[in-house]
């Protein structure tokens, strides 16, 4: 077997100036940093990124120093922190100087929020025509809502996501994490990389317009198509699937597990496990289309049998018979899972004072250009002198 030759991370040599805070923009910046980019996070002098204060819990140094909230550390790994006050000419000039040496800018100010500082795309591309400038807002650069502030929670509601999430007779529910922000950050990385490739080929940068509402609406996937084809808006089904049955949470003698029966063969094998062989040959249940039409009876009969079995026994039987099933872990149980441990999802990194800060790696594995995990989230202004010295050197070389 030939040994893989490891090379520098794929975005080594790319410089990103992050004028973003909270989640969507910083999530994109963190992923770019993991991929090897030099991400310089510009923070305001009045406490920095808002999420530094979004706790508890807070990370504490060995001497009890507050090293910012866990929330901040979830999305700022691998960056360098510089302080600049956009309200002052000195702060604006520092950002312009940094952008002149950069490939990418990420910002998530309200529409036009950076224009008054001369830090908008049109102003900055005049001195850096190859600049890839990614704007992340709630509703985009155009349309009747463009001037409104965008919040993940509100976008989850406006996008239709909450209308299909939750129990049928309960409240519409948001997701347990800010998925509109996170999906937007991930899509932004894809767009930035595409624009960088174009800039390398053509010498021309461009403006990327990312909107939380666009993204959250787009990722409704099959539910969007269910509506567009049928004309019927999907509704909340709790843990059930709109297009497959049984594909939901079921009770056992000592808890719950997930059944994810995706085809007729799997259903037949599940029936054998549960002693429901009559269902496998019944025209009301033998095909997925029929099971979806009769989902309430499927749920009732399947659940009555799963309730008789211990969770571990049912999981083992499903695994032995190639019926997809899975546990419902707490986050603690997830981190203790042997598969998660084997994949190395947790990363522990020492900060400048030796404090170990845990995190979760970007879920991308590249065989030849592995991602980089060298430092945790920065302290506010931690790299001010370092970055300014580099900047002076770069400017002196021109």
> Catalytic amino acids?
181
CB 276 within 8 A of CB 301: yes
Burial readout 7-26 (b: 16 or more C-beta within 10 A, e: otherwise): eebbbeebbbbbbbbbbbbb
Listed residue (16, 15, 71) closest to 48, CA to CA? 71
CA 293 and chain centroid, separation: 34
Q: Are 84 and 95 in contact (CB under 8 A)?
A: yes
Whether residue 140 contacts residue 55, with contact meaning beta carbons closer than 8 Å, is answered with no
Q: Report CA torsion sign: 119, 123, 126, 129.
A: positive
Report the phi/psi class of residue 210: left, alpha or beta, with left for phi > 0 and alpha for psi in -120 to 50.
Answer: beta
| CA separation, residue 381 to residues 6, 23, 389 (Å) | 32, 19, 14
- Tell me the β-bridge partners of 69: 58
Spatial strand order of the sheet with 255-260 comes to 247-252, 255-260, 325-327
Q: In the beta sheet, which residues pair with residue 66? A: 60
Q: How far apart are the first and last CA of the chain?
A: 47
CA distance 122 to 351: 37
Percent helix / strand / coil, the chain, rounded to 5: 40, 15, 45
* Separation of alpha carbons 223 and 233, rounded Å: 8
Cα diameter, the chain:
82
Closest CA to 6 of 381, 369, 319, 311: 369
Query: How many CA atoms are closer than 13 Å to the CA of 101, on its beta-carbon side?
Result: 21
Contact 213, 159 (CB under 8 A): yes
């Amino acid at each position: 077997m030939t040994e893989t030759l490891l090379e520098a991370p794929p975005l080594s040599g790319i410089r990103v100036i992050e004028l973003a805070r909270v989640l969507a923009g910083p999530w994109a910046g963190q992923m770019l940093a993991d991929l090897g980019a030099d991400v310089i996070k510009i923070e305001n002098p009045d406490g920095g990124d808002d999420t530094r204060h979004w706790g508890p819990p807070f990370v504490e140094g060995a001497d009890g120093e507050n090293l910012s909230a866990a929330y901040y550390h979830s999305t700022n790994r691998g960056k360098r922190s510089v302080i600049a006050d956009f309200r002052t000419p000195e702060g604006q000039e520092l950002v312009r100087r940094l952008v002149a040496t950069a490939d990418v800018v990420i910002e998530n100010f309200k529409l036009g929020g950076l224009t008054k500082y001369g830090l908008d795309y049109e102003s900055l591309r005049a001195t850096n025509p190859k600049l890839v400038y990614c704007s992340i807002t709630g509703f985009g650069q155009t349309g009747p809502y463009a001037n409104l502030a965008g919040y993940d929670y509100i976008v989850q509601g406006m996008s239709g996501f909450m209308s299909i999430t939750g129990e049928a007779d309960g409240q519409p529910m948001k997701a347990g994490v800010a998925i509109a922000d996170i999906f937007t950050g991930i899509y932004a990385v894809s767009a930035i990389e595409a624009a960088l490739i174009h800039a390398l080929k053509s010498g021309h940068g461009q403006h990327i317009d990312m909107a939380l509402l666009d993204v959250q609406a787009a990722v409704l996937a099959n539910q969007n198509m269910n509506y567009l084809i049928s004309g019927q808006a999907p509704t909340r089904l709790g843990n059930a699937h709109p297009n497959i049955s049984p594909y939901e949470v079921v009770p056992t003698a000592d808890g719950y597990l997930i059944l994810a029966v995706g085809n007729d063969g799997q259903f037949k094998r599940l029936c054998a496990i549960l002693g429901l062989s009559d269902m496998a040959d019944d025209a009301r249940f033998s095909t997925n289309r029929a099971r979806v039409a009769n989902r309430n009876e499927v749920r009732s009969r399947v659940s009555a049998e799963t309730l008789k079995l211990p969770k571990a026994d049912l999981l083992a039987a499903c695994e032995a018979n190639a019926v997809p099933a899975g546990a419902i872990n707490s986050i603690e149980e997830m981190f203790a899972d042997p598969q998660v441990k084997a994949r190395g999802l947790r990363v522990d990194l020492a900060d400048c004072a030796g404090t170990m800060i845990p995190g979760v790696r970007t879920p991308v594995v590249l065989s030849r250009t592995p991602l980089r995990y060298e430092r945790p989230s920065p302290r506010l202004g931690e790299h001010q002198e370092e970055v300014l010295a580099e900047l002076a050197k770069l400017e002196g070389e021109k």
